[in-house]
């Protein structure tokens, strides 16, 4: 699929490229990039989505740290890892191969596996916001094709695809990109739970830390997932997310 428009580099960005400022040859550059884009201050809005958890908290099914952690673990393994995190890995590969058509196809696939309108819209909004900000701040070489596809409405720019494509363009390894994505998803959801249940700050951090032992396995699973096996099996959360838009009051967007 041809790209209809080319986003030109700004003068300051051209100077960075010529000076080698965007080569990301240093390990510290790649680490700093990941720390910056997963931070809640990075303008994607990812920290304001509950992915159906607000509905379960409202119904009382999730009411304390133990009930939250149990369902959160299932969400990470059977939704994030098998769905979005696997898409991050495939987006990373496609970007390294300069295959914009594959990124567009993957973007449509990510949209298709999100059964809830709110979750699908959240994925598209956070992804498009990330794509725009990554380009404005870092202007990574190799990211232009996918960004133009979003601009030309060939795809929506879902968060997982954007995250993987941008990470590859910034020379971040696939393993580190997927690890950062899963950790950020868990951290953002724990932050939401800390406000809604509410959880204490120490309990919130314990939930995040307790996932450390399984993260390497989960990253490997996501990286090894074939593209035709990308999907989710968290039907209960899908239904909860569909009910979310009908809640009497809502603090989150999904």
Render pLDDT for 176-204 as a digit per residue (tens, 0 to 9).
999 999 999 999 999 888 988 999 999 99
Does the pTM of the predicted model rise above 0.75? yes
Q: What is the Cα 103 distance to its own chain's centre?
A: 15
Task: Count other C-beta atoms under 10 Å from residue 170's C-beta.
Answer: 22
104-130 pLDDT, tens per residue?
Answer: 999 999 999 998 888 899 999 999 999
d(CA 1, CA 219): 31
Q: What residues contact residue 123 under an 8 Å CB cut-off, 6+ apart?
A: 84, 110, 111, 114, 158, 159, 160
List the structure tokens of 177. Answer: 């990109």
Q: What is the Cα 7 distance to its own chain's centre?
A: 23
Q: What is the Cα 91 distance to its own chain's centre?
A: 12
Q: Give me the pLDDT at residue 53, please.
A: 86
d(CA 213, CA 199): 22
Task: Count other C-beta atoms under 10 Å from residue 173's C-beta.
Answer: 12
Average of per-residue pLDDT across 28-40: 94
Q: Which domains does the chain have, with CATH numbers?
A: 47-244 (1.10.4190.10)
């Amino acid at each position: 699929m041809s790209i209809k428009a080319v986003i030109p580099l700004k003068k300051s960005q051209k100077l960075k490229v010529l000076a080698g400022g965007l080569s990301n040859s240093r390990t510290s550059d790649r680490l700093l990039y990941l720390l910056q884009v997963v931070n809640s201050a990075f303008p994607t809005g990812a920290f304001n989505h509950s992915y159906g958890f607000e509905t379960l908290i409202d119904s009382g099914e999730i009411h304390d740290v133990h009930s939250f952690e149990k369902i959160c673990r299932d969400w990470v393994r059977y939704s994030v890892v098998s769905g979005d995190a696997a898409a991050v890995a495939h987006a990373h590969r496609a970007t390294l191969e300069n295959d914009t058509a594959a990124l567009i196809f993957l973007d449509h696939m990510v949209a298709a596996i999100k059964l809830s309108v709110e979750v699908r819209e959240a994925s598209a909004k956070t992804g498009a916001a990330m794509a725009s900000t990554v380009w404005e701040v870092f202007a990574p070489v190799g990211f232009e094709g996918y960004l133009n596809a979003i601009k030309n409405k060939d795809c929506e720019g879902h968060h997982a695809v954007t995250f993987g494509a941008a990470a590859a363009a910034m020379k971040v390894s696939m393993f580190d990109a997927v690890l950062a994505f899963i950790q950020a998803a868990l951290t953002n959801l724990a932050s939401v739970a800390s406000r809604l249940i509410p959880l204490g700050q120490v309990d919130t951090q314990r939930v995040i830390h307790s996932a450390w032992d399984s993260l390497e396995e989960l990253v490997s699973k996501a990286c090894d997932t074939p593209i035709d096996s990308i999907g989710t099996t968290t039907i209960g959360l899908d239904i909860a997310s569909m009910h979310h838009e009908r809640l009497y009051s809502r603090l989150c967007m999904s």
